[in-house]
Amino acid sequence: MKSYDIITIGHVTNDILDYKGKVSRFTGGAVYFSAFAAKRSNARLLMVTKMAEEDFGLLDDIKEEGIDVVALPSPRTTSIENIFESDDVDRRKVSLLSQASPFSLEDIPDAETKIYNLAGLFKGEIPPSMIEPLSKKGKVALDLQAMLRTSEKGKFSFKDWEEKEEYLPMITYLKADTLESEVATGISDRDGAAEVLHELGAEEVMITHSSEVMIYNGEKYTALFNPSNLSGRTGRGDTCFISYMTRRLSHGVKDSIKYAAALTSIKMEKPGPFSGTVDDVLARMNTL
């Protein structure tokens, strides 16, 4: 049986980016951006995804990176249109053009891992019922958007997760952005929202913002982003979350959040997934 640090589960996407009227296509999805950041942080990672077989070529650069991938066939590949009308990366218009099939517990390979990262993009992609059995085998990390973001006639909206009180106690690492944390708690203040999510059971709560990342685990930790530009802003939160977890495997919270902020700052300066090194990140940490 193979052993990993993290098994990350979610849809790799064939997306459209419209930034102030400039349109381009790119490979995306939380698992896509996560995979490169984890691999280049020296973590052993397995990606589990679903997509149309004719789009399996989208995974070539992941495999070339030396990342293990389990690609399961689906009638369609998830495709999302992201429209940024301003430089505020927390505010964007998102439309679902097509979506791959949801995951089931049977889709997860029988492999040892320290963390199961549930990196879904929308509600229904990863059923909440998967959380409890996975939590008995390893730590569970959850991107809250996977339980909040819905699609109605292709347009995304956010609705509270009614089962959060049942499942959050099973979550070790929880990630949300400012909007998602407000939807889940009714609190616009990031500090207050993080405290509520922690009180509901999530052990370590990450909330990302355009300027900083915060961790709350009973105590508050923050680290500022310092990118020189925002050309690689897409995938920021996914990169930040996985890089925190990979560092957290062997370091404390204070060091890990600083590592995540540094790596994410570098990633935001260049389109696509993180392509730097651990040495690059350690050097950037000294500038935060």
- Model confidence, pTM: 0.93
Lowest mean pLDDT among 14-23, 30-39, 132-141, 155-164: 14-23
Supply 144's token pair.
């809250």
- In this structure, are residues 177 and 146 in contact, taking their beta carbons and an 8 Å threshold? no
pLDDT at 9: 98
pLDDT at 216: 98
Q: Which helix (H) or strand (E) holds 93?
A: strand 93-98
Domains of the chain: 3-285 (3.40.1190.20)
Is the model's pLDDT at 1 over the cut of 80?
no
The contacts of residue 30 (CB under 8 Å, 6+ apart) are 8, 10, 119, 120, 121, 143, 235, 238
pLDDT at 88: 65
pLDDT at 90: 57
The contacts of residue 123 (CB under 8 Å, 6+ apart) are 146, 147, 148, 149, 150, 159
Q: Which helix (H) or strand (E) holds 165?
A: helix 164-167
pLDDT at 91: 65
pLDDT tens for each residue of 235-248: 999 999 999 999 99
pLDDT at 233: 86
- Coil/strand/helix, residue 146: helix
Let me know how long the chain is.
Answer: 288
